[in-house]
Structure 1
Amino acid sequence: MDLQSQKDFLVKLANTKMPFGKYKDRYLIDLPEHYIVWYHNKGFPKGTLGRQMQTVYELKLNGLEYLIRNIRKL
């Protein structure tokens, strides 16, 4: 993935909301950690949403959620 594609992915992630379930319409980065960990254990959905949720998991694991929130503010 080139630099522009990575940037586009993160900008889209910053503005994507959960499309279904208990946390429908909540920004992915704002999903509770326990929910993301549950999906990590269960298996993330296929496709773009799954890649985005996997990224959220990694960001939360490393305490970097603020990066995505800062992108959303721009």
Structure 2
Amino acid sequence: MPFGKYKGTLLCDLPVYYLEWLHNKGFPPGKLGMTLSTVFEIKTNGVTGLLMQVKQYVQQQKSDR
């Protein structure tokens, strides 16, 4: 997250209540807003396991380098 209370936090690690607050306030324009909206939909629809799998895959790829 590039700004605010959770600056420096991975978007997939943002708490749902914060994503709900952003959703009600309005996501920022552009790529960041689209990504935050996607993370919000994933987390509120109960498919957070998908985010965890992607996160694990990326971490594994980094450690294999």
User: What is the CA RMSD across the aligned residues, in angstroms?
Assistant: 0.8
- Please say if 1:24 is aligned against 2:27: no
Question: How many residues in Structure 1 have an aligned counterpart in Structure 2?
Answer: 57
Task: For 2:32, give the aligned amino acid.
Answer: L
| Structure number with bigger Rg | 2
Structure 2-normalised TM-score?
A: 0.81
Greater RCO, 1 or 2 (C-alpha within 8 Å, sep 6+): 1
Structure 1-normalised TM-score?
A: 0.72
State, as a whole percentage, how many aligned pairs show the same letter: 51
Unaligned regions of 5+ residues in structure 2, if any?
A: 58-65
1:69 corresponds, among 29, 34, 52, to 52
